[in-house]
Amino acid sequence: MERSCYNTELSFKDVGKEVSLVGWVAKRRNLGGLLFIDLRDRSGIIQLVVNEGVEVPDIRNEYVIGIKGKVQKKEVPNKNLKTGEIEVSVSKIEVFSKAKTTPLIIADETDALEDVRLKYRYLDLRRPCLQANLIKRAKIVKCAHQYFDENGFIEVETPCLTLSTPEGARDYIVPSRVSNGSFYALPQSPQLFKQLLMIGGMERYYQIARCFRDEDLRQDRQPEFTQIDLEMSFLDQDQILTIMEGFLKKVFKETINVDIKTPLRRMDYSEAVNVYGSDKPDTRFGLHLIDVKEILSNSVFNGYKEAEMVKAICVPGIAEQTSRKIIDNLNLEAKKFGLGGIGVYKVKEGMLEGSLVKFLSESQQKELIKKCEANNGDVLLVASGKADRVNFGLGALRSQYGHELGYVKPNTYDLLWVVNFPLFEKDIHDGSYKALHHPFTRPTPETAQYLYSDPSKVLSAAYDIVINGYEAGGGSLRIYDQDMQKKVFEILGFSQEDIMRKFGYFVSAFEYGTPPHGGIAFGLERLSMIICGTDNIRDVIAFPKNLKAACPMSSAPQPVDDAQLIDLGIQIKK
């Protein structure tokens, strides 16, 4: 039976038209003389009505069928369906294949736990919400191809079997059968290759690139993921960001019809961390971090007096609902970020209440209330300790309250660039440095001098695109000067042997004329997740892994045959 159209291509103007439709039975209702069937295809649902006299085979939910019939007006329209004004009066039905009772409800609202959904992902994918997500993801990729092709970028594929290099996470390694004892690595990103393409004279490159990182998983991470990966020569930071803003504007307009105002604002890393407690701040709500060290430095409480930093956030109107249990949970959360605990103070009748109030004088209480612009019924959360721990710990609590208390309006989008990151992170234990982004990030012109005196003061020409509190992409201008690259390697503690073993071919390429260049990579799944309005990255991936990096559907990973291991020269240590 040849399909004449998709279900939702039909409308009231098609009344009287003969059609052939195919799809899955979403629901059936037998009313004696009449049989109603909801037929679902990729586009949506349309109601079929089968009158007496039509030969009807055995039909159950999720059977795959084809029908012929005539479009007619529905007596009682269904406003919840795109095709709710019409139905199809069936003259012929053919069953293509039968189906067992499914282990989950095939609908946007399902009763199945995620483990069940992932095990039967092929059934889960029939749910309209997941199909809509994958369609939006496909539109983002289509926008990328169109936009970057139109702007002079060349699509180039880079290798998936490459050399293991330090890029911040553990590599997935692949043993070589031909060279026993040697291994390839799957790319964490195409970083070195895209820079080599600039040395190769491509000038503007892009790729929808598969990447792999063996790291601990969470809601917005997967072991394999996709980047919209880009690199450009002879452009400065402003030019690169302008091109990228044009791409984002196109994506939001063509996928969800949202107009993004450009140019996007830019926020220094220091402001993001100190005011919002995050390097990816969600600025759709307030709850700013407030420095209260000066007020509390004279407290008799050592936790405040001896701390490097003391900060507070004021959460309005939650004093009555802040129970002992909630306070205990807050302190547990704080400990996850290396904080000893959180001071929780309720504002009542112009003064503070809480277990730590005994350490504060009356004047300190009043100053604290004034500095935080707090009112009766508000709660002050005060954190103290090392600067990074205070900022990021309090920032996490800020984000939690901002979402739980409904400060974020649905279907709102906040886009900004975070810029001027530190180039290096200093280890508090041994004083060594590591790259905050990667070893090839260019310092800002204003701070490059500190490479030779105080590397902790060097800022990077890096930029992250932050959308609704998610890092949706990031990049930087790259080092193209050989001497500067050597100095950065030296600061990071790489010996000449390390450099040649891990980056030899890359460093050698720099000796043959390297253009000024920079790039960026957008996380396709993260961007899709934001566009689709979900906070779970698995909702925008057809066949994702679970939090143990396993696939419940295929049962990967699994041991392999001894013969395969012998071929590879590998012995498994029990």
DSSP codes joined into one string, 205-222: EEEEEEEE-B----TT--
> How far is the C-alpha of 484 from the C-alpha of 492, rounded, in Å?
12
When mean pLDDT is compared across 93-102, 243-252, 564-573, the lowest value belongs to 564-573
> pLDDT tens digits for 24-66?
999 999 987 899 999 999 999 999 999 988 999 999 999 999 9
Where is mean pLDDT largest: 193-202, 298-307, 391-400? 193-202
Q: What's the pLDDT score for residue 300?
A: 84
Q: What's the pLDDT score for residue 327?
A: 85
Confidence of residue 1 (pLDDT cuts 50, 70, 90): confident
- Count CB-CB contacts under 10 A for residue 481: 13
Q: Which domains does the chain have, with CATH numbers?
A: 7-97 (2.40.50.140), 130-257+424-540 (3.30.930.10), 285-404 (3.30.1360.30)
**Cβ neighbours of residue 370 under 8 Å, at least 6 residues apart?**
none
Q: What's the pLDDT score for residue 166?
A: 67
Cα→Cα distances 270→102, 119, 377, 420, 460, Å:
52, 44, 31, 8, 12
Instruction: Taking the CA atoms of 20, 23, 29 and 30 in sequence, report the sign of the dihedral they define.
Output: positive
When mean pLDDT is compared across 244-258, 326-340, 368-382, 476-490, the lowest value belongs to 326-340
> How far is the C-alpha of 119 from the C-alpha of 544, rounded, in Å?
10
> pLDDT tens digits for 212-240?
999 887 767 899 999 999 999 999 999 99
Beta bridge partners of residue 227, listed in sequence order: 209, 523
> How far is the C-alpha of 144 from the C-alpha of 129, rounded, in Å?
23
Containing 97, the helix (H) or strand (E) segment is strand 86-97
Q: What's the pLDDT score for residue 502?
A: 81
Q: What's the pLDDT score for residue 219?
A: 67
Cα→Cα distances 451→430, 433, 442, 493, 497, Å:
19, 12, 11, 13, 22
| CA-only gyration radius of the chain, Å | 29
Mean pLDDT on 247-260: 97
Count of positions (residues) in the chain? 574
- Count CB-CB contacts under 10 A for residue 173: 13
Which amino acid is located at 24 in the chain? W
Q: In the chain, pLDDT over 90 holds for what percent of residues? A: 79
> pLDDT tens digits for 171-219?
999 999 999 899 999 999 999 999 999 999 999 999 999 999 998 877 6
> pLDDT tens digits for 505-562?
888 999 999 999 999 999 999 999 999 999 899 999 999 999 899 999 999 999 999 9
Confidence of residue 167 (pLDDT cuts 50, 70, 90): low
Question: Is the pLDDT assigned to residue 357 strictly greater than 80?
Answer: yes
